[in-house]
Amino acid sequence: MKKIGILTSGGDAPGMNACIRAAVRMAIHNSLEIYGIRRGYRGMIEGDVFPLDRRVITNIIHQGGTILETARAPEFEGADARAQGVNNLQQIGIEGLILIGGDGTFRGGTMLASESDISVIGVPGTIDNDIYGTDYTIGFDTAINTALEAIDRIRDTARSHERLFFVEVMGHHTGFIALESGIAGGAEELLIPESPLEIDELCSHLVEIFYRGKKSAIVIVAETDKPGNSFQIANEVKDRTGFDSRVCILGHVQRGGRPTAHDRILASRLGIAAVQALIDGKSGHMVGEVNRKIVLTPLRDTWQKQKSLHKGLQETSALLRE
């Protein structure tokens, strides 16, 4: 293998740049030419490809976002668009491709690996942490720290005004961000899809909390597939308990910002591991980190199997919210 390509796809995540940097350095170290593909699968279909060298990846390790840019390209679900993309890469002589993204990106990658001669290796890059085959995805640690900073600020005002707050965090269909930022932020209640809570249970817990003498409370809500749903929950709580509240939707601030040390280190390891996997002749796999060891998982498993929330963390959270 002489030439490889790399792209970022789906939602951007802090640490993607650190991963690109590591992959480029590892490629150069092994005398491989490496090409960047702009805007994910969209750029692959359009042939928007350029050579990467040490100069391009200088001073990007600390930057959020992705220098390769990213996009949603639904047309990639069609075989013609994928064939066009493969053709564009093969014309340049690219034989291996690194995909940094989430489950949607890996669905496309699974197809690519089975339909073409290009070797495909995935790297988990999404703030949601919802990818099977790795303890953490690149961007998750930064996202929970960004959420935590906001929760801490909200606690100051909640305490001063003796208020109930609903803070809505991202996480796709899962409660990873909600659970971990909730524990760290001392949330009084947690609404996540993995352990749904009826509105009556939520209300009686809040009534109990305030009866015991608490003057303020923060409920962390995972947005799931209903962003903005916290407003409705807050209204229902008001109807049943009379508690006035404020709603804060953290939204896209969770996607940006300087990656934490944890995300930079994870991204650096996985960027190197992805190039190594291509050199070793692997394809159709994702590189992940499990118990601090690099692990290869079939791409299909990463989106077909479901990653569960950490049981111990769920128990910790439940106990601290009693």
Nearer to ligand ATP, 63 or 70 (CB): 70
- Nearest Cα neighbor of 140 from 63, 251, 255, 226 is 255
In whole angstroms, the minimum distance from the beta carbon of 128 to ligand ATP comes to 5
Tell me if residue 128 is catalytic: yes
Which single residue is written with the structure tokens 């996540």? 192
Please state, in angstroms and rounded to a whole number, the distance separating the CA atoms of residues 68 and 90.
Answer: 20
Q: Which lies closer to ligand ATP via its Cβ, residue 16 or residue 209?
A: 16
Residues forming the site for ligand ATP (CB under 6 A): 9-11, 41, 72-74, 76-77, 101-105, 107-108, 111, 126, 128, 172
Closest alpha carbon to 267 in 41, 89, 61, 58: 61
Determine contact, residues 125/95, Cβ cutoff 8 Å. no
- How far the first Cα of the chain sits from its last, in Å, is 57
Find the shortest distance in angstroms from Cβ 27 to ligand ATP. 23
Give min distance, CB of 152 to ligand ATP, in A: 25
Contacts of residue 119, Cβ cutoff 8 Å, sequence gap at least 6: 1, 95, 96, 97, 113, 278, 281, 282, 283
d(CA 279, CA 272): 11
Q: Which residue is nearest to ligand ATP (CB)?
A: 104
Beta partners for residue 288, in sequence order: 295
CB of 317 to ligand ATP, least distance (A): 23
Give the DSSP per-residue string, 27-50.
HHHTT-EEEEETTHHHHHHHT-EE
Q: Smallest distance from the beta carbon of 104 to ligand ATP, in angstroms? A: 2
Instruction: Give the CA-trace dihedral at 208, 209, 214, 217, to 10 degrees.
Output: -140
Active-site entry in 12, 128, 130, 263: 128
285: burial class by Cβ within 10 Å (0-12, 13-18, 19+)? buried
Considering the complex, what minimum distance in angstroms separates the CB of residue 179 from ligand ATP? 17
| Residue closer to ligand ATP (CB basis): 32 or 36 | 36
* 92 contacts: CB under 8 Å, gap ≥ 6: 3, 5, 35, 49
Residue whose CB is less far from ligand ATP, 66 or 317: 66
Is residue 13 within 8 A of residue 138, CB to CB? The reply is: yes
Active site residues: 128
